[in-house]
């Protein structure tokens, strides 16, 4: 069941920048396939997102805020996942 979504147009750019900075989680989001993060992985993903937001243009920073809002929902309850859908 999908509880919430984020379709911000800057997500792809954000992931590309994460890849260029060799970030171990967000940098490996696959643009052509689904990438799934569980609650445990969010402990590493959230700091990556916050670090990217610090040096982001307004559009990317907005995308980070929207993704961080989704992470709050994932953290609230077991068996929830943050999924980046590829093509």
pLDDT at 32: 95
Long-range contacts of 70-76 (CB under 8 A, 24+ apart): 70/4, 70/6, 71/42, 71/45, 71/46, 73/3, 73/4, 74/37, 74/39, 74/42, 75/39, 75/42
Q: What is the pTM of this model?
A: 0.92
**74: helix, coil or strand?**
helix
Q: What's the gap between Cα 36 and its chain centre?
A: 10
Q: Using 50, 70 and 90 to split pLDDT, how confident is the model at 31?
A: very high
Which residue from 43, 55, 58 is spatially nearest to 18, judged by alpha carbons?
Answer: 55
**For residue 27, what are its two tokens?**
């940098």
Written as six digits, the tokens of 51 are 């670090």
What per-residue confidence (pLDDT) applies to 55?
Answer: 81
């Amino acid at each position: 069941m999908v509880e919430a979504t984020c379709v911000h147009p800057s997500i792809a750019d954000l992931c590309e920048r994460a890849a260029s900075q060799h970030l171990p989680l967000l940098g490996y989001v696959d643009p052509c396939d689904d990438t799934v993060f569980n609650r445990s992985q969010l402990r590493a993903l959230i700091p990556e997102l916050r670090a990217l937001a610090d040096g982001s243009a307004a559009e990317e920073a907005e995308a980070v805020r929207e993704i961080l809002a989704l992470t709050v929902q994932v953290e609230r309850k077991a068996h929830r996942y943050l999924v980046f859908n590829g093509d």
